[in-house]
Chain A
């Protein structure tokens, strides 16, 4: 690590530390968790997924049942600290929606739903890339970042997403190295 990077890191750690660190928060994020309660949030997760990947001329996240993938991934493939972030994030979001719109997320208009997600995206992503990395390391993956990650991944590897949302080429036979892009060309579902 060169000197400049070192200094940058110190500033970043100090910044992240001042902005969000408390001993209480760290303990809370690493404590036991009632992850089964996630099942009760299934319809909310489905609604959120649909705002990220809506049904257009191709299927959306709900069509592909991405919420099931998201829940499975949070339960079995997510570090405890990020599990907390996810559950807390869902609760925060519900509180935020009630406070600002006086109803459930599902009952909000499209415009309102977008405004809510915009609020949570802005809150969870640092503009400087290295800050995200450091934040993830100490405090786990933020709620919205994980939600979007799992929604896009779950959609793109689902049968509907891969075959209708993207172009799935099960057995290509040949490699055609340079072909003209066709109109409305989807990208390949697998590399």
Chain B
């Protein structure tokens, strides 16, 4: 059921889920499947699977300005125009309508619609290992994770088997294998690099990316058609999103009510029972306020807005924000860095090409600090992601000359090359934080988010190492014109914000416990990126989904036992 405006539905539910992105979609589906009447709140418009993917079938010539934005659009949207394309811009919130304040440059990419950023995510699915869950404890950094790999492993199985993840088992301790569909394939230049890497450092290997793109039909979706236009929404359901998968499944139970255009302004506190009694919502179309009530509330608004909602929910019991006894809400913001890497060209394989546009690249799993390597001068590690291809017109249009000879070069495949970069762990620094801006508000009168984030010395040293090792691997494989780079992208650019309502064992230093349950209000669960205690270097969405499914199981059990 959909509701909007002042419709006369019962305002009480078994569960409320705030946010319909990758983790909120999972929460809604799991709770509905457990028989709970669930209200799913989304601040943006509805996006229905397939019918609302307006650019999905367009050709390059169907875009008035090709791959470009107008100068007017760029002036009005300086951040978002750098990070989107005309094909997918409708799935990102505009700079104009959704201002925020950043103390230092920070790219905050938001997907304000049903499905959130699950429509535009990179689809990379990597498990964490105990190397990651034990890292804070061993390094005496921030607080210890309250869970270990064994607690989440069955939930990784569960999620992978539902969403469909293609990949290759490699039997690595730092990157556990999952339940994979057949892997995508490496092309000949990538195979060449893989073979060269195998001859070198015993801790390194190159494997195909593990992605939520279907290599065979799955759950009445797909398979992936290798168009590589995922971020426009896939008319074949070739990759997992809330829209293609969890939300339809939740609807199928008959227990879901979806309310788009609904910004959650605050959680409402029940002083008599020490828990949340519901939420106050602003209808973005009418500016009216509504209250909804439930036995349990899942906060999945995404890392920065989740902190914003908690901080904006003030009561006598929680003068500094809902559940914020520790003072940690909003702090410890992390994002992976992905600025440093290397590029190289290869003279061979001139008689080889490929057909199709594989929607992913390759992965070189983490190889640094698997055992502590103090000589490196930094903690933790990175993985390398990249891809190999032949030069095509975009790469050749700046070659000198014009005329028939130039045209021939422009329209035929040129040299092979590989571009690769390190996705690196960012430590949880208390001073990297989000807060409510003291005076600036958005058009609904809610405080703007104030983001204060920067990478620090550990990340800078890691980036130097990425440049060095990735260039070395390319050189060792016989590439030429090898050059390393560091784009120095601002925080937020990897779109892996995490950490602003972290898990932990101690209510004095963390916001939620090992079941993602708020220490101070037992019927509130936070399972989006804000719950992350450290960032590891793996793309995090798979872990959010596994934690969400696990927390839903726990919440249902606790409700049955009468503890919530």
B355 in contact with A162 (CB, 8 Å): no
CB distance from A96 to the nearest CB of B (A): 17
Would A157 and B65 be within 8 Å (CB), given that A51-B403, A121-B400, A180-B351 are in contact? Answer: no
Q: Given A77-B65, A148-B397, A191-B392, does the pair A169, B403 have CB atoms closer than 8 Å?
A: no
A157 B187 Cβ-Cβ under 8 A: no
Q: Tally the A-B contacts, defined by beta carbons under 8 Å.
A: 156
- List the B residue with the shortest CB-CB distance to A174: B356
Q: Which of A41-93 contact B (CB under 8 A)?
A: 51-54, 56, 58, 60, 69, 72-73, 76-79
Residues of A within 8 A of B102 (CB): none
Asked whether A189 is an interface residue with its Cβ less than 8 Å from the other chain, the reply is yes
In the complex, which range does the number of interface residues on chain A fall in?
Answer: 35 or more
Q: Which of B72, B358, B410 contacts A156, CB < 8 Å?
A: B410
Q: Kindly provide the distance from the CB of B483 to the nearest chain A CB, expressed in whole angstroms.
A: 12
Within 8 A of A (CB), among B63-83: 63-72
Cross-interface CB contact of B400 among A54, A125, A170, cutoff 8 Å: A125
Contacts of A176 in B (CB 8 A): 354-356
In the assembled complex, the Cα of A153 lies from the Cα of B61 at a distance in Å of 11
Residue interface mask A120-137, B partner, CB < 8 A = 1: 010001000000000000
Could you tell me the distance between the alpha carbons of A56 and B411 in the complex, rounded to whole angstroms? Answer: 12
Is there a chain A Cβ closer than 8 Å to B60's Cβ?
Answer: yes
Given the known inter-chain contacts A175-B355, A175-B358, A176-B355, please indicate yes or no for A56 contacting B65, CB distance below 8 A.
Answer: no
Judge if A8 is at the interface, Cβ distance under 8 Å: no
Please measure, in the bound complex, the distance between the C-alpha atom of A114 and the C-alpha atom of B405, giving whole angstroms: 12
Question: Assuming A125-B400, A173-B226, A181-B351, is B406 touching A188 (CB within 8 A)?
Answer: no
Residue B458 at the chain A interface, CB threshold 8 Å: no
Q: Choose from A53, A149, A175 the contact partner of B407 (Cβ within 8 Å).
A: A53
Q: Does A190 contact B (CB under 8 A)?
A: yes
Partner of B356, one of A58, A149, A156, A175: A175
A117 to B190, CA, bound (A): 39
Check A72–B402 contact: CB distance below 8 A.
no
A153 CA / B403 CA spacing, docked (Å):
15
Q: Are B410 and A162 in contact (CB under 8 A)?
A: no
Check: B443 CB closer than 8 A to any chain A CB. Answer: no
B447 within 8 A of A: no
In the complex, the answer to whether B357 meets A175 with C-beta atoms within 8 Å is yes
| Distance A95 CA – B402 CA, assembled complex (angstroms) | 22
| Pairwise interchain contact B397-A152, C-beta atoms closer than 8 A | yes
Q: What sequence of 0s and 1s flags, for each residue 132-164 of chain A, a beta carbon within 8 Å of any chain B beta carbon?
A: 000000000000000011001110111100100
Name the B residues within 8 Å of A191 (CB-CB): 228, 357, 389, 392, 394
A157 partner, pick from B66, B390, B400, beta carbons under 8 A: B66
Instruction: Give chain A residues whose Cβ lies under 8 Å from the Cβ of B228.
Output: 190-191
Contact with A along B395-430 (1 / 0, CB 8 A): 001101111101110111110000000000000000
A54 CB contacts on chain B under 8 angstroms: 403-404, 407
The docked-state distance in angstroms from the alpha carbon of A51 to that of B402 is 7
B481 at the interface (CB under 8 A from A): no
- Count chain A CB atoms within 10 A of each CB in B64, B67, B350 and give the residue with the most: B64
Distance of A108 from chain B, by nearest CB (Å): 14
Interface of B is mostly: loop
Q: Which residues from A are CB-within-8-Å of B185? A: 175, 177
On chain A, the residues within 8 Å of B384 by CB distance are: none
A53 to chain B: closest residue by CB: B407
B393, A52: Cβ atoms under 8 Å?
no
Report which of A77, A125, A154, A186 forms a contact with B71, defined as CB distance below 8 A: A77
Is A185 part of the contact surface with B, judged by Cβ < 8 Å? Answer: yes
Q: Is A171 an interface residue (CB 8 A)?
A: yes
Known: A54-B403, A121-B400, A159-B61. A172 touches B225 (CB 8 A): yes
| Closest residue of A by beta carbon distance from B352 | A178
1/0 per position for A33-47, CB-CB distance to B under 8 A? 000000000000000
Instruction: Tell whether A185 pairs with B413 under 8 Å between CB atoms, given A56-B404, A114-B403.
Output: yes
- Contact (Cβ within 8 A) A177 B186: yes
Q: How many B residues touch A, CB cutoff 8 Å?
A: 54
Indicate if the CB atoms of B403 and A69 lie closer than 8 Å: no
Would you call A180 and B61 a contact (CB within 8 A)? no
Contacts of A9 in B (CB 8 A): none
By a CB distance below 8 angstroms, the chain B residues around A53 are 402, 406-407, 410
State the CA gap A18–B389 with chains docked (Å): 41
Nearest B-chain residue to A164, judged by Cβ: B411
Residue from the list B66, B69, B353, B355 in contact with A153, Cβ < 8 A: B66
Asked if residues B412 and A186 are in contact (CB atoms below 8 Å), the reply is: yes
Interface residue A27 (Cβ < 8 Å from any Cβ of B): no
B187 partner, pick from A78, A162, A177, beta carbons under 8 A = A177
Indicate if the CB atoms of B355 and A172 lie closer than 8 Å: yes
At the interface, yes or no: A20 with Cβ under 8 Å from chain B? Answer: no
A181's partner among B60, B226, B350 (CB-CB below 8 A) is B350
Which of chain A's residues have a CB closer than 8 A to the CB of B59?
159, 162, 168, 170
B188 cross-chain contacts in A, Cβ below 8 A? 177-178
**Chain B, residue nearest A153 (CB):** B66
The answer to the question of B184 belonging to the interface, with a C-beta cut-off of 8 Å to chain A, is: yes
Taking CB atoms, residues of chain A closer than 8 Å to B72 are 76
Which of A51, A125, A174 has the most chain B CB within a 10 Å cutoff?
A174
The reply to whether the CB of A98 lies closer than 8 angstroms to some CB of chain B is: no
Does chain B have a CB within 8 A of A7? no
Q: CB of B227 within 8 A of chain A?
A: yes
Q: A73-B65, A169-B356 given as contacts; is B70 within 8 A of A181 (CB)?
A: no
Contact between B355 and A76, CB atoms less than 8 A apart: no
Chain B residues, CB < 8 A from A159? 59, 61
**Alpha-carbon separation in the docked complex, A170 to B226 (Å):** 10
CB distance from B229 to the nearest CB of A (A): 9
Minimum Cβ distance to chain A for residue B348 (Å): 12
Instruction: Provide the bound-state CA to CA distance between A77 and B391, in Å.
Output: 26
Provide the bound-state CA to CA distance between A180 and B191, in Å: 16
Q: Which residue of A lies closest to B60 (CB)?
A: A157
Give the 10 A-B residue pairs with the shortest CB-CB distance, closest first. A172-B356, A175-B356, A157-B60, A152-B397, A177-B185, A177-B187, A52-B402, A178-B188, A176-B355, A175-B358
Residue contacts A-B, CB under 8 angstroms, 16 given: A54-B407, A58-B411, A72-B65, A73-B66, A165-B407, A170-B227, A172-B225, A172-B226, A174-B226, A175-B354, A175-B355, A176-B354, A177-B185, A179-B355, A185-B353, A189-B60
Q: Which A residues are closer than 8 A to B by beta carbons?
A: 51-54, 56, 58, 60, 69, 72-73, 76-79, 114, 117, 121, 125, 148-149, 152-154, 156-159, 162, 165-166, 168-181, 185-191
Besides A177-B354, A181-B353, A185-B412, 10 more A-B contacts (Cβ < 8 Å) are: A73-B66, A153-B397, A156-B393, A158-B61, A162-B61, A178-B187, A179-B355, A180-B353, A181-B350, A191-B357
Measured CB to CB, the residues of B under 8 A from A are: 59-61, 63-72, 184-188, 190-191, 225-228, 350-358, 389-394, 397-398, 400-404, 406-408, 410-414
